[in-house]
Amino acid sequence: MENRQTPRQTLRKTLRARRRSLSPQQQVQAAEKLLQQLKRQPVFLRSQHIAFYLPNDGEIDPRPLIREAWRRGKHCYLPVLAPGKDNRLWFVRHTPTTPLVKNRFGIPEPRALFRNRFVVRQLDVVFLPLVGFDRQGGRMGMGGGFYDRSFAFKQSAATHKPYLVGLAHHCQQVEQLQLAHWDIPLSAVATDREIIVADQNRTGRDFFTV
């Protein structure tokens, strides 16, 4: 029997191919433009505990922004696959000398122990990767649900922290994503061209200048 892809799976495949098609030079230029977009934003300047990611599969590269955060004395964290089978993330301190090991997806991460993970709710902002996005704050991930499960509390919590800011290439934008009830909306999306503040998070606009 033929195994047909769903429209969501087809879109994910298309967008992943789109970002992987960017040349190394285009990736470097996009990372530098992303840095210039974010390094003057209040959401970056005012935050002291910031989570990032290391790029994989053509994702836009936040490492120049990480180096800027270190330069400013900020505490940086990386996601780590939590033990167990519930597809959740821990966040562990990342410094210029932190040893990294590859997880089961081949992505470098700090070696995590329960005692050295940082409390997720105490993060100021999380810069997270995505496959696709729309201008309403919708996010399409890789399909594992790691970020959605890790930040599910934001669906009912009366707090804006941590701000969830998706990072992406401009070419990953779509008109509108069909979201499931468990999908966590973003506070904003930052690309190599612009910063888009999501409509449903107007109360956090003072953290962004657009």
Q: What is the pLDDT of residues 49-91, one digit of tens each?
A: 999 999 999 999 999 999 999 999 999 999 999 888 788 999 9
Q: In the predicted model, what is the mean pLDDT of residues 132-146?
A: 90
Main-chain phi, psi angles of 164, to 5 degrees: -105, 115
Whether residue 194 has pLDDT greater than 80: yes
pLDDT-derived band at 201 (thresholds 50, 70, 90) equals very low
Closest CA to 127 of 76, 194, 72, 73: 76
3-state secondary structure of 81: strand
- The pLDDT, as a whole number, for residue 162 is 93
Q: Which of the four CATH numbers 3.40.309.10, 3.40.50.11540, 3.40.50.10420, 3.40.47.10 does domain 44-207 have?
A: 3.40.50.10420
Helix %, strand %, coil % of the chain (to 5): 35, 20, 45
State the pLDDT confidence band at 155, using cuts at 50, 70 and 90: confident
The CA distances from residue 210 to 10, 13, 65, 74, 188, in Å, are 32, 31, 18, 23, 11
Domain edges within the chain: 44-207
Q: How far apart are CA 123 and CA 77, in angstroms?
A: 9
The answer to whether the peptide bond before residue 162 is cis (omega within 30 degrees of 0) is yes
> Is the confidence at residue 184, as pLDDT, over 90?
no
